[in-house]
Amino acid sequence: MKTYAEIDVDLAPIVVLGCGHFFTAETLDGLVGMYTAYISNPEGRFTALADISATFAEKIPLCPDCKRPVRQYVTRRYNRIINRAVADESSKRFLVTGKNELKKVDIELEKLQEELAASHSDFSRSINMFHERRLKAIFENRVLARYADCDKLRRKIKDFRRRTSERYQPSHKLYEATIYALRKKKSDGLSEKLANLSLENTQKPVERDRRVTLAGEMALLKLDFITLDDKLGVLLALKSATSTQDFQWPGGSPHLLVKPFLKTCASFISSCGTEALPKLAVEATLYHARMAQLYQSCHSLDEADMARAIDFVADAKKNLERASLLCEQPFQHAEKLKEAVQEIIQLLERERYETVSPEEVAAIKRAMVTGPTGLATHSGHWYNCVNGHPFAIGECGMPMEEARCPECGAPIGGSNHRSVAGVTRAENMED
């Protein structure tokens, strides 16, 4: 190790850290990972920015002597690396926190579905009695009370979606903070330099945090399906048991909610395609198709409604064909979801009035259940697949054999403890 007096600072510049320790730039550049964030020429000079949009940074750089973090803006040479590491650490916390909340929501959804199914027959009989006796107020109160827990859970999920919307995501917060800082700092000809920047060849970074938002939307779709499925079932039972034609459902017929639900499903499926999330797209397709089938099976549809039901089913069949192809990708539970797709395709091929047995419905529901609407954030080392989805596998570090991203099926690891092409180690996610 050389003393300061022995170093030619013109050939080996000195970098002073916020903690007071100083080193040559060459020493620190290697330790903090400058070569992962910048492109260098054969002489070792940094000439351009490296594309870091689809990878996770390593740990926040530390001083080699005292192990304190290298502070932002104190040592500006490493700001890009430090900012990236801090942002990725925030993204990890955002993902894990979102996953934990979604797990709780899934438990509530499952419990709610079981309770509605268990009380369906008794509830239909009890409110039919009130309807036949013209006790409208009691009838409406009973119906509203049945779905009070659904409304409560809907508010909870909507609050989750609000808190995980784009403006609250770590990447967006960093973007806003950067723009604010750039606008305030006018020195060093920065405004002129910014004006000369070209964005034509830049690529939009992968929004890792969008997966949390979409998972929240999926949870809301599940809730809306569970609620609407039960309402349509109760309505069908009541209309089958009464001869009156002036039946009024509180707040309007559930049939009016079918079209908006299907439209929401279609929009969600499109978003999943953009974000390379085939698993969520297939799940949403199943809910879309099941709702189209439920609407078609209603016995009280007039001619216009029947034509609409035929269109719904036609759209569902097209979506199911695409979903079947998506299931060829090796994402988590792909085989089970493909099973559900085939079951519903067969269901839609039946005649409208052909009875669907409870056993068949139960089989479809079992096939549609693929575990919590969560994210791959279990213990182990963190990586990014080629589509930019962070994931964690194993405690040993690199995977022992080739694995696949549980959300899109893209390669996420290789044999002999080596990653496949396009996969990066996200070490900062492991703390």
Confidence band for 36, pLDDT divided at 50, 70 and 90: confident
Confidence band for 93, pLDDT divided at 50, 70 and 90: confident
Confidence band for 43, pLDDT divided at 50, 70 and 90: confident
- pLDDT tens sequence across 343-381: 999 989 876 656 667 777 777 777 676 555 544 444 455
Higher pLDDT, residue 329 or 274: 329
Q: Which long-range contacts (CB under 8 A, 24 or more apart) does 289-293 make?
A: 289/316, 289/317, 289/319, 289/320, 289/344, 289/348, 290/225, 290/229, 290/344, 290/364, 290/368, 291/225, 291/228, 291/229, 291/258, 291/261, 291/262, 291/265, 292/262, 292/316, 292/348, 293/344, 293/347, 293/348
Question: In whole angstroms, what is the distance from residue 52 CA to residue 265 CA?
Answer: 33
Q: Is 66 helix (H, G, I), strand (E, B) or coil?
A: coil
Higher pLDDT, residue 251 or 153: 153
Confidence band for 270, pLDDT divided at 50, 70 and 90: very high
Q: Give pLDDT, residue 78.
A: 84
57-66, 98-107, 144-153: which has the minimum mean pLDDT?
A: 57-66
pLDDT of 142 > 50? The answer is yes
Range among 6-15, 37-46, 213-222 with highest mean pLDDT value: 213-222
- Which residues lie below 8 Å from residue 228, measured CB to CB, with a gap of 6+? 254, 257, 258, 261, 291, 294
Higher pLDDT, residue 297 or 384: 297
Residue 338's nearest CA partner among 322, 362, 318 is 322
Q: Give pLDDT, residue 246.
A: 57
pLDDT of 429 > 50? The answer is no
Q: Summarize the confidence of residues 262-279 as an average pLDDT.
A: 93
Residue 372's nearest CA partner among 112, 92, 108, 147 is 108
pLDDT of 288 > 90? The answer is yes
Q: Give pLDDT, residue 61.
A: 86
Q: Give pLDDT, residue 363.
A: 73
Confidence band for 428, pLDDT divided at 50, 70 and 90: very low
- pLDDT tens sequence across 162-206: 888 766 666 666 666 666 666 666 545 544 554 444 434 333 444
Burial (CB count within 10 angstroms: exposed 0-12, middle 13-18, buried 19+), residue 370: middle
| pTM over the 0.85 mark | no
Is the torsion defined by CA of 62, 64, 66, 70 positive or negative?
negative
Higher pLDDT, residue 47 or 258: 258
Q: Give pLDDT, residue 155.
A: 96
Q: Give pLDDT, residue 208.
A: 57
C-beta separation of 300 from 240 below 8 A: no
Q: Give pLDDT, residue 139.
A: 80
- Calculate the average pLDDT of the chain: 78
pLDDT of 221 > 90? The answer is yes
Confidence band for 398, pLDDT divided at 50, 70 and 90: very low
C-beta separation of 318 from 356 below 8 A: no
Q: Give pLDDT, residue 396.
A: 41
Higher pLDDT, residue 373 or 99: 99
Beta strands 14-16; 22-24: pairing state: antiparallel
Confidence band for 216, pLDDT divided at 50, 70 and 90: very high
Q: What is the largest CA-CA distance in the chain?
A: 101
Higher pLDDT, residue 251 or 192: 251
Q: Give pLDDT, residue 263.
A: 97
